[in-house]
């Protein structure tokens, strides 16, 4: 039973889309807006 769930989880993880890299949260906690803007422009 453990092998089936492990295999199922592995297959499911391989089928996920690589879109997670596009969902990056930029947080400005030091007040340097120019740094956040420059990073956003580069991405």
Q: Which helix (H) or strand (E) holds 10?
A: helix 2-15
Q: Which pair of structure tokens corresponds to residue 39?
A: 């990073």
Q: How far apart are CA 3 and CA 7, in angstroms?
A: 6
pLDDT of residue 39: 74
Q: By the 8 A CB rule, do 28 and 36 touch?
A: yes
Rounded to a whole number of angstroms, the CA Rg of the chain reads 18
pLDDT of residue 34: 75
Which residue's entry shows tokens 């956003």? 40
Q: How far apart are CA 36 and CA 40, in angstroms?
A: 6
pLDDT of residue 10: 66
pLDDT of residue 38: 77
Domain boundaries, the chain: 2-42
Does the reported pTM lie above 0.85?
no
pLDDT digits (tens, 9 = 90+) for 6-40: 777 766 666 655 555 556 666 666 667 777 777 77
């Amino acid at each position: 039973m453990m092998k089936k769930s492990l295999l199922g989880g592995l297959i499911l993880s391989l089928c996920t889309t690589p879109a997670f890299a596009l969902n990056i949260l930029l947080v400005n906690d030091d007040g340097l807006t120019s740094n956040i803007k420059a990073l956003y422009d580069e991405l």
